[in-house]
Structure 1
Amino acid sequence: LDNERIEICSLLTRIDRDNFEEYINEISEINRNLLIRQGIKQIDESKIYVDVKGIKNFLEKDIKESFDRSMNLQTLSLDQIQKLDLNSDNVMIPYYDEPSISNKTEHNTSNLKITSYSRFEQFSDMFLKIRDKFIASNEFGIDTYLSMRIRHGTLLGEIRSVFENYYLITKKEDTSKDYKDNLYWQKLLSKSELELSTYFNKTMSDFSQKIDAISDELKNKKLQIKTEKKESEGILITRMIVKSCCNFSRKE
């Protein structure tokens, strides 16, 4: 439809000269919108996708139950506090709604709250469930799309294309692991240099093998997700995120 509008406006610029500027502006606006839509489409097709809606639907009931339990532990009444053993390991952090004017610890106030170890456990459990689905779920997680789009998709082609554009790399033979001769540069060798052909092709073959080895290492080792449960050589580490969030939970 946009292309038809452009053709019509172009025709009108020749027929209706009085409104020439208006038609030109319309054509410019249509072209601008086309470029924006093309850019958005390109971003959508190239980005790593996580099915956040699917994760929410899958975990909603389980997480809500854990969250409700956590909130029930958030604030305890004075009567409940008096029944607690404040020296027990179960009590993790005592704190106040508002900062105390003095530095004294006042246990007999109605606004004293207790953050118990069990509440911290609830928070940690909820966070890890969401994180694991976000990262490693075969249905919704980032690892699946990382594999589809990058590790087994465009990575090798993106790396190789830089060298292929300058004829510096060749592909393997169909029937063996050996690399094909680099015919482009071999043709440019002078007659006096033909004796170097074997050495030259060996050098270029080794270079091609090294480039592919780097790509394979990225794909199979480096572009992997690493957690406290999943040890790997991956550079995508999530353990620090867990520690930070758990520290946040303690502060809250």
Structure 2
Amino acid sequence: MSVLIVIPARYKSSRYPGKPLAELRGASGSAKSLIRRTWEAAQTVSGADRVVVATDDDRIREAAEAFGAEVVMTAEACANGTERCADVLARRPDLRPEIVVNLQGDSPLTPPWFVEALIDAMRAESGLQVATPVLRCDRETLEAFLEDRRAGRVGGTTAVFGARRDALYFSKEVLPYTGRSFAEGETIPVFHHVGLYAYRPAALAAYGRAAAGPLEGLEGLEQLRFLEQGLPIRCVEVEGRGRVFWELNNPVDAPRIEAALARMGLD
């Protein structure tokens, strides 16, 4: 099955304007833009046939083309990355992928095996329409989530799912509520939702035709539109393998990501 990775990137982020062009320093101190680091992460994924950056902003287009990325210009009206992925397929029918991966442009620490796990899940189950990874929180990540909430910041997203691992809900609150701290080595029942999706083209087309529902509007989480429309999302559990995963949601996240790049020796 042919796989297209789309990296949606918009300049007008309400929480962090110009975020895709924000520079992050690697292990040696060299700086690269967020969009470049995400594009370089996509290049390490096995089984992907093509990678494109999807944007509506000429500043991002110019920066991406300068480091060698293929760019598809999309509508300014796209409200989120999933709509932007759908717009890519609508504008470029020549691409014809069987699986589309949405690697959000604020996730440069995404390990390749996260993406590969989604591709494998989609290939293994022909009826699966949407899949997304979840990562069991360690103490450091859970405390970072709770710290963000105490400070009134919107940080990472958590996921809860049923016995078949189909999603029940996603939230920017820390769910499920536990009401206690956890000892070193204790299993933590909170899962970090990784901002990454795999879709069938038909699911993307249906998403583009559907209106945003009230939960999507309240949480500001694009994937809730699928759940509100009754389309299941498979949660695929992945392992960090010692890698720290963190998205650039707010300016305060930049030092966290730079520290992770330094620890992993990534330039």
What band does the TM-score fall into relative to the shorter chain?
A: under 0.3
Counting strand residues as a fraction of each chain, which structure ranks higher? 2
Q: From the CA coordinates, give the structure whose radius of gyration is larger.
A: 1
TM-score, normalised to structure 2's length? 0.19
Q: Which has the higher contact order (CA 8 A, sep 6+)?
A: 2
TM-score, normalised to structure 1's length? 0.20
Counting helix residues as a fraction of each chain, which structure ranks higher? 1
